[in-house]
Structure 1
């Protein structure tokens, strides 16, 4: 048995760095991922595609791990970095985008949005209890990521 948890996030932040610096950091997936908490392993799959393996959460046989892969596309002229899921990689399907725009010389406005569907090997009876916990954890990780990005500049 398995349950699927859907998570949708939208964040808007101001990063204290120039547009070019911020774009270059976020478009470089390994550099950007180094600021994301609880990443167990990031594996390059070639052609700007990466598999994310997050740290396991839980104890022994009750531990769960999120694994997914995405292909990234960066368009500096449009100020966008998008990611699309690679099917058949792990237990998650994740897509999203960064939308960046300069706000003065040393500040960049950044809009982050992502949608994730995580399939977890748990009985369906646990969905009502587990869904809010997974969503809360994911929200917390993204909040830490945003703060880490701000601190990087």
Structure 2
């Protein structure tokens, strides 16, 4: 039996680089996604659609590999979004980046992501599965944002 786990994360941070540099990096899906921890594979399916395949995660006898497909779009200067796209997977993820200039050599970046994950666990273990997914997702996003910030400021 599968249980459904929902996760929502929003973070804002400031970086010491131009808004253009930030946008150019974040709009480069392959390069940016490569900084995401525990990513097994990112597959370009064409037309802005990408399939994420994460490494298996597990604890307390539970093991699960998250896979999902998203379509990336952007406005060409300050906003990048991703939304679920048809394809294989066991999750639906959406989110985006919003970049706001703060002078010539600094910008603010807002990150948001929501995910809906189907976990193949007995209903009695739903609480454990929810805690595992939420803490793992939060930790991975924190590491990802740290890596993005370091890349943008290098």
TM-score by length of 1: 0.94
Unpaired segments ≥5 residues, structure 2: none
Specify the alignment match of 1:55 in structure 2.
Answer: 55
Does structure 2 retain, via aligned residues, the 8 Å contact 1:15–1:149?
Answer: no
Q: Does 1:150 align with 2:149?
A: yes
Q: Secondary structure, in 3 states, of the residue corresponding to 1:63? A: strand
Query: Residues 81-100 of structure 1 correspond to what in structure 2 (within 5 A)?
Result: 81-100=80-99
CA distance in 1, matches of 2:48, 2:86: 15
Partners in 2 of 1:108 and 1:144 — Cα distance? 20
Any conservation in 2 of the 1:97–1:114 contact (CA below 8 Å)? Answer: yes
After TM superposition, the runs of 4+ consecutive aligned structure 1 residues lying more than 3 A away are none
Q: 1:101 to 1:135 in 2, by over 3 A?
A: same
**Distance in 1, Cα, partners of 2:107 & 2:114:** 23
C-alpha deviations, 1:22-47, integer Å up to 9, x for none? 10111111011111111000000100
C-alpha distance in structure 2 between counterparts of 1:100 and 1:13, whole Å:
10
Per the alignment, residue 101 of structure 2 pairs with: 102
TM-score (norm 2): 0.93
Structure 1 vs Structure 2 CA RMSD: 1.4
Q: In the alignment, does 2:140 pair up with 1:114?
A: no
In the alignment, what sits opposite 2:73?
73
Contact residue 13 and residue 110 of structure 2 kept, 8 A: yes
Distance 1:33 1:67, change over 3 A: same
Q: Note if contact 2:119-2:129 (Cα within 8 Å) is conserved in structure 1.
A: no
Q: Does 1:139 find its partner at 2:138?
A: yes
Question: Alignment length, in residue pairs?
Answer: 151
For residues 128 and 121 of structure 2, the distance between their equivalents in structure 1, rounded to whole angstroms, comes to 11
